[in-house]
Amino acid sequence: MATKNSSVIEFILTGLTDQLGLQIPLFFLFLCSYVITVVGNLGLITLIGLNSHLHTPMYFFLFNLSLIDFCYSTTITPKMLMSFVSKKNIILHTGCMTQLFFLCFFGISESLVLSAMAYDRYAAICKPLVYTVTMSPQVYFLLLLGVYVMGFLGAMGHTGSIMSLAFCADNLVNHFLCDIFPLLELSCNSTYVNELVVFIVVAIVIGVPTITIFISYTLILSSILHISSTEGRCKAFHTCSSHVIVISLFFGSGAFMYLKPPSILPLDQGKVSSLFYTIVVPLLNPLIYSLRNKDVKIALRKTLRRKTFF
């Protein structure tokens, strides 16, 4: 995957901060968050796989969201942790392009899965009588296929755009990962076309899911307001609000990072923004979608009882 017109064979990632006093505390903070992310997402994948009553469209999408979050976090966090404990966090050019590809692939896939989940909840709450037809196995398999195809095409577009650049001398990437704008900053040729590609692709993969999610949740909230039970309304609002918070964090931080020219957004601020959609959201998703979910709690108790019995 190395480009022929580049003399750079490796990059050095500067990491999140250069303050020595923060290196070890941040290492343990992000190590703990990574462990929770891995345990939470793999646990949710296992529960959904083992319990047949969770084999529904909603949990089918949740299974894939957890799988994406696990892979997304694993693509980024281990390399980030190395920057806290090593003097030079070196990554080969090929490794950098590979990380960039999977960063884009899982990021785009996550945004599309979240929009598919919002549509699924709209179909279940607003059109319950035709839900089994609206979300038949063929429909949600096609939706998921579209998610991964779009993720692959978007990742290829971004990675191919970066690989077309020449990196002549400077190899110091001012970030904790191989992201698009820090790499564009190192290019020794014009990046106008590359920035245009970023804006177009990100506008599509953030804009379309955001509109889908906004319309779905607006219709869902409208249906909730017609629930006669006050307790039912409060419970529905409580569940929807937590989902909306996580979705807003993911799309908001992504838009803040990629839908502005790099000259307007300093890269140090970009690092903080990147933490939300690469570290925080994969950590929160299994907590929001499982610990606050009655079906998942029941499945967990059944699984634990089954293990205790055996």
As for how many domains the chain has, the answer is 1
Q: Specify if 108 maps to a domain.
A: yes
Q: Specify if 3 maps to a domain.
A: no
Helices 137-163 and 192-225: crossing angle in degrees, nearest 10, is 150
**DSSP state letter for 284:** H
Q: Is 260 exposed, middle or buried (0-12, 13-18, 19+ CB in 10 A)?
A: middle
pLDDT per position as a tens digit, 246-293: 788 888 878 777 776 665 555 566 788 888 888 988 998 888 877 666
- Give the number of other Cβ atoms within 10 Å of residue 226's Cβ: 7
Q: What is the pTM of this model?
A: 0.87
pLDDT score for 22: 85
Q: Specify if 5 maps to a domain.
A: no
Find the CATH number of the domain harbouring 47: 1.20.1070.10
Q: Specify if 1 maps to a domain.
A: no
pLDDT score for 169: 67
Q: Specify if 196 maps to a domain.
A: yes
Q: What are the start-end ranges of the E strands in the chain? A: 10-13, 89-92, 172-173
pLDDT score for 248: 83
pLDDT score for 274: 85
pLDDT score for 100: 95
pLDDT score for 65: 92
Which residue numbers in the chain have pLDDT < 70?
A: 1-7, 169, 227-239, 242, 260-269, 291-293, 306-310
List the domain range (segments joined by +) for residue 230: 10-309
pLDDT per position as a tens digit, 281-290: 899 888 887 7
Q: Specify if 181 maps to a domain.
A: yes
Rounded to whole angstroms, the Cα distance separating 163 from 125 reads 45
pLDDT score for 272: 81
